[in-house]
Amino acid sequence: ESTEDLKDVIGNISKLKYELQTDKKFKLLDGNDSDQEEWNSFLQSLPDTHNSYFSAVWLHAECYMYRRVRAIFEETATLRDFDYFRKQKKDAFMGSLEAFIRLTEKFNETREAKSRMELQGLFRQLVRLNLWGNRIDLSISGGKIVSQDDDPFAALANLEGYILADDTNAMWECISMTDGNIIVDFVCDNAGYELFTDLCLGDFLISRNLAAKIRFHVKTIPWFVSDVTPEDFRWTLDALKLAVKGTLRDLGSRLSNYMETGHFELIEDEHFWTSPYDYSQMESVKPSVYQSLQQAHLVIFKGDLNYRKLLGDIKWDTTETFENALRGFRPTNLCSLRTVKADLVVGLERGRAEGLTAKDPKWMETGDYGVIQFAPK
């Protein structure tokens, strides 16, 4: 039966490709997914001048494409729950095993660190590892397997000059000035190495009593190739628990234990993260998500797509402040850890963007540069 379904899927993907390439008007979605009505009312609200792949806002066009692919699978009898990116995500995870081991061993060595200064130093390193983890992304590589296959620590010093805005200290103040009875949220991006760095940062915050709970918000459907789905999240914890290397197994058990004790929580059924809306629209379109984020003391938005949604995918002056570019979206303290893969960025010093463009006109598409930006409540 699946063979027949696959034939249909391939045919329908060809049709979709044709529709997009020939700039046909966006179609309403069929199917039974619970976000379908929300999507259709969004599509109906688009003006005719911005209602096709090449005329729409890029954020809308790209989200629409991934949502249509999902609809094609959803229509089938046997492949509706199949994750068509799963194999690439697993391969990317496997390709990063050495880096996982180095990272875990290095942090095991620092378990004795207790002073505020020592903790701040570790936090700073973890935030940087987490930022650069966002480079490992299967949508920017067009699905080609990319993994972290070298020593992530060795690379850190050389990457310092590639951080264009750095609010790590403000993030640290925000977390460390509390009594530790706080919730920290990750709005996750990629599975594989990036998710591993999210889990390590979460482990650090819990094990050092800097936070009481970490919540991970993930996508409900396969998204931008490597984005984390609930199955990826669970699979990652299980794979770590079953790893050959003892240090990884210990980490895996600790993380799974956090799930059981409620120190970690997976938020797995929220369709808003795969909607086309930007975050300034969240409070009116999906107040329940906004209210949920308000419970957190800090929300960490991971990656490029989240950054585009924070900024409304608008081509801001690069010297605009991060706070202004959020256009009122401030459910709580928030920050963004993002490598630059799309041509929008704010918070740069005057002349910085021009200098980078003179060196490499495509610097905003490569993921080579990163920003760590924070906005207080």
Applying CB under 6 A, the residues found at the interface with ligand F6P are: 62, 134, 137, 139-140, 189-190, 224, 303-305, 308, 341-342
Min separation Cβ 62 and ligand F6P, Å? 5
Shorter beta-carbon distance to ligand F6P: residue 79 or 326: 326
Helix (H, G, I), strand (E, B) or coil at 53: coil
Shorter beta-carbon distance to ligand F6P: residue 76 or 281: 281
Give whole-number Cα distances, 255 to 187, 192, 358, in Å. Answer: 18, 15, 45
Burial class (CB in 10 A: 0-12, 13-18, 19+), 236: buried
Min separation Cβ 193 and ligand F6P, Å? 12
Shorter beta-carbon distance to ligand F6P: residue 303 or 347: 303
What's the token pair of residue 78?
Answer: 């046997």
Residue 114's CB: how many other CB atoms inside 10 A? Answer: 9
Unique residue bearing structure tokens 């209210």: 291
User: Which residues, other chains included, contact 303 with Cβ-Cβ below 8 Å and sequence gap of 6+?
Assistant: 134, 137, 189, 190, 194, 337, 338, 339
Shorter beta-carbon distance to ligand F6P: residue 139 or 229: 139
Residues 377, 365: Cα–Cα separation, whole Å: 30
Min separation Cβ 248 and ligand F6P, Å? 24
Min separation Cβ 55 and ligand F6P, Å? 17
Give whole-number Cα distances, 330 to 98, 171, 178, 277, 283, in Å. Answer: 38, 15, 19, 16, 10
Min separation Cβ 350 and ligand F6P, Å? 25
Half-sphere exposure of 263 (CA within 13 A, CB side): 19
Min separation Cβ 191 and ligand F6P, Å? 10
